[in-house]
Amino acid sequence: MPTYVYAVIKPDGSQGEPFEVFQKLSDPALTVHPETGEPVRRLIVPPQVQTQTDKGRFSKGNLERLGLTRYEKRGDGHYEKTAGQGPDAIGAGD
């Protein structure tokens, strides 16, 4: 289920505290806060992407356990293997 971000609409029309809700795609957008009953609007936010803090999940041990290979860029079009099986290096001319 996707996570949607909503914000409370303050009495002066400004945006209040945002919060997240897991909903089915087929569920209608919320119009009131599920706990307080205050009016809300759905916010458009960018999708979540991997960040440096996610690197632990992609550690060498985890990747190898899952049968995956990780390459890191070492130069223009040249990548060296840092985890998993496969060629030690790959590049644009390979």
SS3 85: coil
Number of domains forming the structure of the chain: 2
In a domain, 52, yes or no: no
What is the span of the domain harbouring residue 65?
57-86
In a domain, 72, yes or no: yes
Contacts of 14 (CB under 8 A, 6+ apart): none
In a domain, 50, yes or no: no
In a domain, 31, yes or no: yes
Which pLDDT tens digit goes with each residue over 6-28? 999 999 999 998 999 988 989 99
Task: For the chain, state the CA radius of gyration.
Answer: 22
**For residue 54, pLDDT beyond 60:** no
Q: What is the pTM of this model?
A: 0.50
Asked if 69 contacts 83 with a C-beta cutoff of 8 angstroms, the reply is yes
In a domain, 81, yes or no: yes
**Pair (35, 64) in one structural domain:** no
